[in-house]
Structure 1
Amino acid sequence: MVSIIDFRSSVVIIGCFGLIYTGCSPPIQTLEIYNNGRPKLVHEYKVISSSLGIDSITVKLIKYYRNGMKHYQQEIMNNQPNGKYYSWHPNGVKFAKGKYLNGELSDKWAWWGKDGLPDSIRTFRKEMLHGEYIDYFSNGKPHKLMEYVENKKYGYYKELDEKGKKVSVGEYRNDIPHGHWIWWKNRIKTRELTYENGLKNGPFRIYDKLGKKKIIGQYKNDKKDGEWNWFSDQKGLDSLIVYNNNQYNGEYNIWHANGNQAVKGDYNNGLKNGEWKWFNKKGQKDSIKIYDTGQLFGFVTIYYDGRQPREIMTYVNNKLHGIMTSFYRDGMTESEITFSNGLRSGSYKYWDSEGNIEEKGAYLKDKLHGLVLRWYTTEQLSSSAMFSSGKLQGLMRIFSPSGSTMKEGYYFEGLPVVIFEYYENGRFRRILAYRGNEIIQEKVWTAIGVEITTPVLGIRTKSNVHSNGNPSYECTYKNNSKHGIEWNWGEYFDLQSLNIYDQGLLVLKRTWAEPGIPKEDILFPGISKQIIIGPYSSAD
């Protein structure tokens, strides 16, 4: 019976031969040969008799390569590896050297490369790593050196580079880092750290490529604890932060590269708390914010140059709440916007740099809502519009710099219903009727009131006149339904009412109190989505 044990590419053969010999000279027997006649496997054996009358057989197995060089040599006692073991590369250079005890790896073992340079050293006890442990680079210089106890790293640890310079030094306990550890690169210390039973505990240091301190801090039970400092070449101390249980806790400071402070504040259990200040590179205040348990709470001021505020606002539970005021650099107010729970809700105003009002209106849940007015720089009203939840709803008017009405639009849920365009002299320029975004009728006039509308196939007009010959009524039809514009004039051509129809549906009713002065506008009169716009002057 033959068993084969493979260990680092060597072969151990254990034979049970059942032979008993006597005498002092060990017999030699060739078990296998190559086809070139050279021996492949040879054994030497001797029988040792004890005083108790018990015989033991010791066999030395020797295996050869085909070229006649030894492959390995193994001692066998009582049918198991016992004693020294040697092996060689095919070129005759030693490959491995070690020892077995009762079939188990024992004591120091060493391995070499084909060039004869050391490869590794291991020490064993009962098949377990126990004692010295070394790995080598291909140039034969030590790479890692450490100690093992019962298959666990225990004791010193050292790592070197290929030139023999230190890379790291420390120790292990029960296979986990313990004690003081140091790392180097090109002979310059890069890091120091202390472990306790595998957890970072104690001082911590990081150094730059010149060996100057870069970070200084400490750990407690694997978590950052106490004061930590960051350094730079330009300014020395770069940051100072206090930790507790791996959380920011206490003073927090950051500096610019020129040495001026950049940030100053405090943490409480990892959360920003109290007044925080930010500074520009010149050391001037950039902003001031108030925190309560990590959330913005109270006034926030942002500055132009440390003195003149650019924005002042209020936060509640980390959300903008109240009026946010913006300023021009000279201190003039630029805007006021009302917030509620982080959303624009309420009135707002904008001014130009001369202090003239530019726009005012209101928001509801971050969407324009209600009347929005805009002005020219001359303080002349430029437009007015009604919004509902961010969509145009009702009347929108645009004015010329001289104050003349140039356009009136009637909208429902953001879509146009009717648009009136005017000349500066007040005459109609164009009327557009819509269904959604589709134009269903268009009327066009010259500046002197002459209609130049292009006729549309399928549209007919019905009209009447007063006794003096002036028109009294006019309406366009599609099939038998009113479709387009319906006009009613007084005896002297004064417009009294104007209605817009969409295939029989009245979509806009407009009346005049007196010539040139509209009284009331009603969108979709008489149905559920009716909108009454009036009195007309309310848009101003």
Structure 2
Amino acid sequence: MKYNFIFFVFIMIPLVSLAQKYNAYDQEGKRHGKWLKKYENSDQIRYEGTFEHGREVGEFKFYKPTSGNKPTAIKVFSKENDTVKVSYFTSTGNVISKGGMIGKKRVGVWKYYHKNSTKIMMTEVYKNGKLNGKQLTYFLNGQLTEKTNYVEGKIEGIRIVYAEDGTKLKEYTYEKDQLHGSTKYYDAEGKISIEGNYKRDKKDGIWNYYKDGKLSEQKLFPVKNRGM
């Protein structure tokens, strides 16, 4: 009986130590140390990471109810600032996108990847949760497919669309998310095929149509309330 008791104590000590290793609180009742939470009525981990007196520090891994041991998101918290580095993953572990966040708002450069590939599909720039800067989209071969500029979440300036071989196909001008200004379309050889102007998302004035690089037709687009 004495030996059975000793064996029981020997087994329980590491189990108690393991329990104390996770999900502890400091003297003020704040989460402190390594934490691991599971989904209700499941052995599937929901998240795991480290707290320092109630604040997340270092790497946190997040899982979906059916993701097994592969995290679907990883967040890295800094002691120096409020910016969190975030990466999202597919169920097979491939990166979907990554960038920075402050709270629930995206900040700085975000990168998005082609499916099942390490090649970049798109980059965006955020400021306080809104697109602010160049948005660049790429074909799988690395060739630029689209270039757009944003200011405070709205398209502003020139937007260009390219073919997979690098040939320019379309060129638009925007002002506060509306087509406003010169617009040009090109054929597969890069020759201009259509050009004209927009005014607040509507065709305005004379539009020129070309065939084999030569002017073949002109159309006039009247716009209501020209004085606006």
Of 178, 184, 193, the match for 1:382: 193
Aligned to 1:259: 69
The one-letter amino acid paired with 1:278 is: Y
Amino acid at match of 1:254: F
Unpaired stretches in structure 1, ≥5 consecutive residues: 1-202, 204-215, 416-435, 437-527, 530-540
SS for the counterpart of 2:92 is coil
Which structure has greater strand proportion? 1
Question: CA deviation digits over 1:312-350, x for unaligned, max 9?
Answer: 111111111111100011111100001001100011110
Are the structure 2 counterparts of residues 323 and 333 from structure 1 closer, same or farther at C-alpha, using a change threshold of 3 Å? same
Q: 1:357 aligns with which of 168, 172, 182?
A: 168
For residue 202 of structure 2, what is the aligned residue in structure 1? 391
Q: Of 299, 314, 324, which residue of structure 1 is paired with 2:109?
A: 299
Q: How does 1:138-153 map to 2 (within 5 A)?
A: none
Map Cα deviations across residues 14-46 of structure 1 (whole Å, 9 max, x no partner).
Answer: xxxxxxxxxxxxxxxxxxxxxxxxxxxxxxxxx
- Tell me the CA shift for residue 403 of structure 1: 3.4
Give the equivalent residue in structure 1 for 2:129. Answer: 318
Structure-to-structure mapping, 1:78-97, within 5 angstroms: none
Deviations 1:116-140 (A, max 9, x none): xxxxxxxxxxxxxxxxxxxxxxxxx
**Residues 319 and 312 of structure 1, relative CA distance in 2, 3 Å threshold:** same
**Matched residues in 2 for 1:224 and 1:286: separation?**
33
Matches within 5 A, 1:108-507: 225-226=31-32, 227-230=35-38, 236-240=44-48, 249-250=56-57, 251-255=59-63, 257-266=67-76, 273-304=83-114, 305-400=116-211, 402-413=212-223
Structure 1 distance, partners of 2:40, 2:118, is 30
Q: State the shift of 1:395 in Å.
A: 1.6
> Is the Cα contact below 8 Å between 1:234 and 1:258 reproduced in 2?
no
Decide whether aligned partners of structure 1 residues 411 and 218 sit closer, same or farther in structure 2, where only a CA change above 3 A counts.
Answer: farther
Label 1:292 to 1:239 Cα distance change in 2 as closer, same or farther (>3 A). Answer: closer
Q: Does the residue aligned with 1:329 lie in a helix, a strand or coil?
A: coil
Paired letter, 2:144 = T
Amino acid at match of 1:368: L
Q: Distance in 1 between matches of 2:133 and 2:222?
A: 31
Matches of 1:338 and 1:369 in 2, distance apart?
Answer: 14
Q: Is the 8 A contact 1:231 1:239 kept in 2?
A: no
Asked if structure 2 preserves the Cα contact closer than 8 Å seen for 1:396 and 1:409, the reply is yes
- Greater RCO (CA < 8 Å, at least 6 residues apart): 2
Kindly provide the amino acid, as one letter, of the partner of residue 394 in structure 1.
G
Number of residue pairs the alignment of both structures matches: 196
Query: Are residues 405 and 234 of structure 1, via their aligned partners in 2, closer, same or farther at CA, if it must alter by over 3 Å?
Result: farther
Q: Find the aligned partners of 1:303 and 1:288 in 2 and give their Cα distance.
A: 9
2:215 & 2:43 partners in 1: Cα distance? 64
Whichever residue aligns with residue 286 of structure 1, its letter is I
Give the Cα separation in 1 of the matches to 2:39 and 2:129.
32
Query: Could you list the runs of 5+ residues in structure 2 that have no partner in the other structure?
Result: 1-18
Normalised by the length of structure 1, the TM-score is: 0.32
Does the 8 Å contact 1:242/1:252 carry over to 2? yes
Q: 1:255 corresponds to which letter in structure 2?
A: Y
Compared CA separation, residues 385 and 235, structure 1 to 2 (3 A): farther
Q: Distance in 2 between matches of 1:321 and 1:275?
A: 19
Contact persistence 2:44–2:68 (CA under 8 A)? no
Distance 1:395 1:235, change over 3 A: farther
Within 2, Cα distance between the matches of 1:242 and 1:407?
A: 68
Shift of 1:254: 1.4
Amino acid at match of 1:312: T
Deviations 1:259-284 (A, max 9, x none): 2222111468xxx7321111222222
* Alignment root-mean-square deviation, CA: 3.4
CA contact (8 A) 1:301 1:309 kept: yes
Asked whether the equivalents of residues 386 and 394 of structure 1 are also in contact (C-alpha less than 8 Å), the reply is yes
Taking only the aligned residue pairs, the percentage that are identical comes to 14
C-alpha distance after superposition, 1:341-381 (max 9, x if no partner): 11000111100112111101221000111111011112222
AA paired with 1:299? V
Per the alignment, do residues 316 and 340 of structure 1 end up closer, same or farther by CA in structure 2, a change over 3 Å counting? same
How many angstroms apart in 1 are the aligned matches of 2:63 and 2:105? 23
CA distance in 1 between partners of 2:195 and 2:75 (Å): 47
The whole-number CA distance in structure 2 between the counterparts of 1:295 and 1:266 is 15
SS at match of 1:353: coil
Matched residues in 1 for 2:202 and 2:51: separation?
A: 51
AA aligned opposite 1:354: D
